[in-house]
């Protein structure tokens, strides 16, 4: 019963029986049985049992890429609202260049948006960084939110889905694991179309042959394959 046996489970439901199975994320042991602790899809791999959520808030994990907006500035950093229970802290030492304590607002002001990496998750909040290549301030473009649990589908295996959409629309796309998506294109129509395509992926995330359906959808909107200039490389948001 490995890998392929996925079922939708609810809290309290037995996923599998047998002492050789180990409960992982979202599961717990009750006697001989491994039981679900969350509502989601069960995943068994090498006797390791997890439950992957299909809905609900985003819980940050170390290494995640997230998109957020500055809501406060302290003496040594910025507080970023990314839609989680607590705000993320971006320390002044976690940005690509040296910032003097007086230059904080000049570098990153209230209301500006960033794509950052989560490097620590503690009880009182999370710490993020934008020192690495591919992370930084977001300029222009537009933001919208999707169910964070569907982000892996938007990115696709090794970034294949998001690349498909980028090539077809010519828009820059950055996807945060927290469900925030950033799009920037050469005109209003392209941006709206890109958003529609991404929402199509989210609404059809569970069906087989999604890639073909997406390609059909793109064609039906009058777009061809690679429509334009390759714009500056943005991180594709990382994978699961």
Partner 1 sequence: MSDFIVPNLQKEKIEEYATEGMRLDGRKISDYREIKVEKEISKNAESSVRVRVGDTEVFAGVKMAVTEPYPDSPNEGTFMTTAELHPMASDNFDLGKPGIGAIELARVIDRGIRESGFIDFKKLCIKEGEKVWQVFVDIVALNDGGNLLDVAGLAALIALGNARLPVYNEEEDKIEHEFSDNPLPLDKEAMSFNMTLHKIGGKILVDVTKEEEAISDYRISIAVADNSGEPRITAMQKGKAGAISEGDMENILNLVCDKWKEMFPKVKELVFG
Partner 2 sequence: MVNSLYTKRSDGRKMDEVRPMKAKVGIVPSADGSASFETGGTKAIAVVRGPRTLHPQHMQNPQKGILRVSYGMMPFSVWDRIRPGPSRRSEEISKVVEWALSSVVDLSEFPNTVVDVFIQIPQADAGTRVAGLNAASMALAHAGIPMKEMVSAIAVGKADKTLIVDVNKEEEDFSEGEGATDIPMALTSRTKNIALLQLDGKISPNELREAINMGKKACGDILKVQMDALKNVNGGSDNE
What tokens does 88 get? 């993320």
Torsion-angle region of residue 134: left (phi > 0), alpha (psi -120 to 50) or beta? left
Count the residues of the shown chain that bind partner 1, applying the rule CB under 8 A.
18
- Residue 152 interacts with partner 2 (CB under 8 A)? no
Give the nearest distance from C-beta 1 to partner 2 in angstroms.
Answer: 19
- Provide the token pair at 125: 């909040």
Under the binding rule (CB under 8 A), the answer on residue 203 touching partner 1 is no
**51 Cβ contact partners less than 8 Å away, ≥ 6 residues apart:** 9, 15, 25, 26, 27, 36, 37, 38, 40, 41, 42, 43
202 binds partner 2 (CB under 8 A): yes
* Of 165, 155, 151, the residue nearest 215 (C-alpha): 165
Report the alpha-carbon distance of residue 54 to residue 6 in Å, rounded: 13
Asked if 25 interacts with partner 1 (CB under 8 A), we say no
Rounded to whole angstroms, how far apart are CA atoms 118 and 150?
19
Distance, CA of 108 to CA of 111 (rounded, Å): 9
Piece in contact with partner 1 (CB under 8 A), picked from 31-39, 122-130, 150-158, 191-199: 191-199
User: H helices within 54-147, ranges in order?
Assistant: 104-107
Task: For residue 217, state whether it binds partner 2 (rule: CB under 8 A).
Answer: no
Helix ranges (H only) for the chain are: 104-107, 151-155, 160-169, 188-203, 210-220
128 versus 146: smaller Cβ distance to partner 2: 146
Is there binding between residue 35 and partner 2 (CB under 8 A)?
A: yes
Q: Is 81 in the site for partner 1 (CB under 8 A)?
A: yes
Query: Using CB under 8 A, which of 28, 85, 144, 206 touches partner 1?
Result: 144
Closest CB to partner 2 among residues 84, 170: 84
Q: Is 181 in the site for partner 2 (CB under 8 A)?
A: no
Nearer to partner 1, 60 or 185 (CB): 185
Task: Rule CB under 8 A: choose which of 39, 107, 119, 217 binds partner 2.
Answer: 39
Query: Contact residues for partner 2 (CB under 8 A)?
Result: 8, 10-13, 26, 28, 30, 35, 37-40, 53-57, 59, 85-86, 123-124, 145-147, 150, 202-206
Binding site for partner 1 (CB under 8 A): 69, 71, 81, 109, 111-113, 138-144, 188, 192, 195-196
């Amino acid at each position: 019963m490995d890998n392929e046996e996925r079922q939708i489970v609810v809290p309290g439901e037995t996923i599998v029986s047998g002492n050789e199975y180990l409960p992982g994320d979202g599961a717990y042991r009750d006697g001989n049985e491994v039981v679900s602790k969350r509502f989601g899809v069960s995943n068994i791999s090498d006797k390791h049992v997890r439950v992957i959520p299909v809905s609900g808030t985003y819980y940050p994990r170390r290494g995640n890429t997230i998109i957020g907006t500055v809501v406060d500035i302290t003496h040594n950093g910025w507080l970023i609202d990314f839609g989680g229970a607590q705000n993320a802290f971006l320390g002044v030492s976690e940005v690509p260049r040296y910032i003097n304590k007086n230059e904080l607002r000049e570098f990153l002001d209230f209301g500006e948006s960033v794509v950052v990496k989560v490097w620590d998750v503690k009880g009182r909040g999370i710490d993020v960084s934008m020192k690495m290549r591919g992370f930084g301030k977001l300029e222009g473009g537009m933001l919208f939110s999707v169910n964070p649990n569907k982000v892996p589908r938007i990115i696709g295996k090794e970034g294949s889905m998001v690349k498909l959409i980028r090539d077809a629309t010519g828009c820059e796309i950055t996807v945060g694991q927290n469900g925030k998506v950033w799009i920037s294109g050469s005109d209003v129509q392209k941006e709206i179309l890109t958003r529609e395509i991404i929402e199509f992926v989210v609404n059809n995330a569970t069906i087989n042959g999604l890639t073909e359906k997406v390609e059909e959808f793109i064609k039906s909107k009058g777009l061809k394959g690679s429509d334009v200039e390759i714009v500056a490389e943005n991180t594709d948001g990382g994978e699961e």
